[in-house]
């Protein structure tokens, strides 16, 4: 690698995507600066199931033990109540990990930042990037201000990585092209409860609603509700009433939650865009939500960010070492898109709250009493198998058998005839 005065890489944003990228780059021996306008250790609007592949990344990076020591409980089993079919089962193992964890962002993000710093990355919190510097059409650094400061400070690097979330300043500054954009479709509310013990993770699908219940740090239980965006205006006057009324539609969940104590305010956001952005250009790259964002209903964003950080860090190290950075970043964008596409489509369709198809309902009913199949279904939901492949014809045929598929085809034909007549 040629010598460069300044940093090899500046990362804007020090949460899951940015801190993980900085950590991996610093461990590879690069000179890294990571900045964030938020104070270190601060919370953010996000619930926090980290799917098994995300946890496998943390384990690989040597951080899972620290997460567990911070009092983050493991969730190995999930009860999925699909309003008609109930599945209960365990996650399949992935790279030696068989549990989902739901660490508070104050815990997870701080852990990653501390690890990045320990690996040699320089971390500045309370620093807002206002613009990028460029020379000959190539981004060369960032310019911004420290919290409370008036001086405009400039830092230079061979590459600037935007890990600055769904409203990325870096993406806007470089005009990163958007594609596969879908409007926001759902809003989400969540809070933390004591006295609501859970032995397994709980997920509920009801017409126009999705609910998730997972244990988190401090012996608390995080309870999350999603609903269609068009109902937000009506729900706004009484968001807590809307939230509790949804829980009342989920068996005894409403009762159990009301018997506990809400220990933090209810957080609600309608700010849930969906879409991809070009992930690289001359002197810049995007990672995490800045480059690809999807609704929280499938709880994939953190895992996506960790997986994406690993992909990006490998491509940067490889590209700088071989002197072919732009080609390495282009390969990584293709890989990112291939990896995310099917889960993105599933997420968008769930965020639309379209009722499950007859085929999907039959598939779920057929696996309910088959533990290995439930496990595979949960693995698909956790991002271990492509939803396109899971719901594809060969797998349906395998699960339902030729007679089951025949019955399904006849019912679909009858339904079509009924709607046509
Ligand atoms: C309600 C809700 C629930 C969710 N639940 C889950 C879940 O259960 N599981 C899951 O996996 N995902 C969930 N997500 C998604 C998840 O929160 C995101 O995918 C994830 O936070 C993306 O991480 P990131 O590091 O890319 O960006 P962010 O977490 O958004 O971090 C970006 C950082 O960049 C900083 N920044 C921005 N602009 C600048 C600037 N100009 N200068 C300096 N710093 C800047 C910000 O301060 C911020 O700290 C949820 C999201 C929402 C909204």
Domains 7-48+104-180+273-346 and 186-269 share a fold: no
Q: Taking residues 377-392, report their average pLDDT.
A: 94
With beta carbons less than 8 A apart as the criterion, state whether 108 and 41 touch: no
Binding site membership of 13 for ligand 1 (Cβ less than 6 Å)? yes
Query: Cβ of 174: how many Cβ atoms within 10 Å?
Result: 23
User: DSSP assignment of 10-26, as one string?
Assistant: EEE--SHHHHHHHHHHH
**92 secondary structure, DSSP code:** P
Q: How many whole angstroms separate alpha carbon 130 and alpha carbon 143?
A: 6
Q: How many whole angstroms separate alpha carbon 44 and alpha carbon 350?
A: 24
Kindly indicate the confidence band of residue 360, based on its pLDDT and cuts at 50, 70 and 90.
confident
For 254, counting Cβ atoms within 10 Å of its Cβ (0-12 exposed, 13-18 middle, 19+ buried), the class is middle
DSSP bridge pairs for 139 = 134
CATH pick for 7-48+104-180+273-346 out of 1.20.120.160, 3.50.50.60, 3.30.70.920, 1.10.10.10: 3.50.50.60
Kindly indicate the confidence band of residue 355, based on its pLDDT and cuts at 50, 70 and 90.
confident
Q: Average per-residue pLDDT in the chain? A: 94
Kindly indicate the confidence band of residue 414, based on its pLDDT and cuts at 50, 70 and 90.
low
Model confidence at 416: pLDDT above 60: no
Which atom of ligand 1 has the smallest separation from the CA of 169? 41
Q: How far is the CA of 289 from the centre of ligand 1 (A)?
A: 7
Binding site membership of 216 for ligand 1 (Cβ less than 6 Å)? no
**84 secondary structure, DSSP code:** S
Question: What is the per-residue pLDDT across 101-156, written as a single tens digit (0 to 9) for each?
Answer: 999 999 999 999 999 999 999 999 999 999 999 999 999 999 999 998 899 999 99
Q: How far is the CA of 367 from the centre of ligand 1 (A)?
A: 35
Nearest CA to ligand 1 atom 12: 301
324 φ/ψ angles, rounded to the nearest 5 degrees: -130, 55
Structure tokens belonging to residue 125: 């919190």
Which atom of ligand 1 has the smallest separation from the CA of 214? 8
Question: What is the per-residue pLDDT across 43-92, written as a single tens digit (0 to 9) for each?
Answer: 999 999 999 999 999 999 999 999 999 999 999 999 999 978 999 999 99
Binding site membership of 35 for ligand 1 (Cβ less than 6 Å)? yes
292-293: strand order across its sheet: 178-182, 274-277, 292-293
Which atom of ligand 1 has the smallest separation from the CA of 16? 25
Q: Residue 284 to residues 174, 252, 332, 337, 347: CA-CA distances in angstroms?
A: 8, 50, 13, 18, 28
Q: How far is the CA of 150 from the centre of ligand 1 (A)?
A: 27
Nearest CA to ligand 1 atom 36: 164
Question: What is the per-residue pLDDT across 281-311, written as a single tens digit (0 to 9) for each?
Answer: 999 999 999 999 999 999 999 999 999 999 9
Where exactly are the structural domains of the chain? Answer: 7-48+104-180+273-346, 186-269, 358-420
Nearest CA to ligand 1 atom 17: 46
Q: Residue 203 to residues 114, 124, 200, 355, 371: CA-CA distances in angstroms?
A: 32, 38, 10, 16, 17
Give me the residue label for tokens 């390495």.
328
Structurally, at CATH architecture level, domain 186-269 sits in 2-Layer Sandwich (3.30)
What was the pLDDT predicted at 421?
47
For the four alpha carbons of 412, 414, 417 and 421, in that order, the dihedral sign comes to negative
Q: Which of 180, 176, 253 is nearest to 211 (CA)?
A: 253
Q: Candidates 146, 192, 288, 302: which one to mutate for ligand 1, based on the most atoms within 8 Å of Cβ? A: 302
Kindly indicate the confidence band of residue 412, based on its pLDDT and cuts at 50, 70 and 90.
low
Nearest CA to ligand 1 atom 51: 46
**Residue 301 parent element (H or E):** helix 301-322
Q: How many whole angstroms separate alpha carbon 281 and alpha carbon 7?
A: 18
């Amino acid at each position: 690698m040629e010598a460069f005065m300044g940093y090899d890489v500046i990362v804007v944003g020090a949460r899951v995507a940015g801190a993980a990228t900085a950590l991996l780059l610093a461990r590879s021996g690069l000179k890294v600066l990571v900045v964030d306008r938020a104070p270190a250790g601060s919370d953010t609007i996000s619930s926090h199931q980290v799917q098994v592949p995300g946890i496998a990344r943390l384990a690989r990076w040597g951080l899972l033990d620290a997460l567990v020591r911070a009092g983050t409980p493991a969730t190995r089993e999930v009860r999925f109540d699909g309003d008609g079919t109930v599945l209960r089962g365990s996650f399949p193992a992935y790279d030696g990990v068989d549990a989902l964890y739901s660490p508070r962002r104050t815990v997870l993000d701080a852990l990653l930042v501390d690890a990045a710093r320990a690996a040699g990355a320089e971390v500045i919190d309370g620093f807002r990037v206002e613009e990028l510097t460029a020379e000959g059409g190539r981004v060369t650094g960032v310019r911004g201000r420290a919290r409370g400061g008036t001086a405009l400070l400039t830092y230079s690097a061979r590459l600037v990585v935007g890990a600055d979330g769904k409203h990325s300043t870096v993406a806007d500054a470089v005009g990163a092209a958007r594609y596969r954009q879908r409007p926001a479709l759902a809003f989400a509310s969540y809070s933390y409860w004591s006295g609501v013990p859970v032995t397994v993770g709980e997920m509920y699908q009801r017409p126009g609603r999705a609910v998730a219940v997972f244990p988190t740090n401090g012996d608390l239980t995080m309870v999350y509700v999603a609903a269609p965006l068009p109902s937000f205006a009506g729900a706004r006057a009484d968001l807590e009433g809307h939230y509790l009324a949804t829980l009342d539609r989920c068996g005894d969940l409403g009762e159990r939650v009301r018997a506990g104590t809400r220990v933090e305010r209810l957080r609600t956001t309608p700010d849930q865009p969906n879409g991809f952005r070009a992930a690289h250009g001359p002197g810049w790259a995007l990672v995490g939500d800045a480059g690809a964002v999807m609704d929280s209903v499938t709880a994939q964003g953190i895992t996506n960010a960790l997986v994406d950080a690993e992909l990006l860090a490998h491509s940067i190290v490889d590209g700088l070492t071989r002197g072919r950075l732009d080609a390495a970043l282009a390969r990584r964008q293709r890989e990112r898109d291939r990896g995310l596409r099917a889960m993105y489509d599933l997420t968008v369709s769930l965020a639309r709250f379209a009722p499950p198809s007859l085929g999907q309902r039959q598939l779920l009913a057929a696996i309910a009493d088959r533990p290995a199949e439930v496990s595979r279904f949960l693995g698909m939901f956790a991002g271990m198998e492509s939803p396109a492949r899971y719901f594809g014809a060969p797998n349906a045929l395998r699960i339902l058998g030729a007679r089951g598929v025949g019955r399904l085809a006849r019912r679909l034909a009858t339904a079509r005839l009924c709607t046509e007549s």
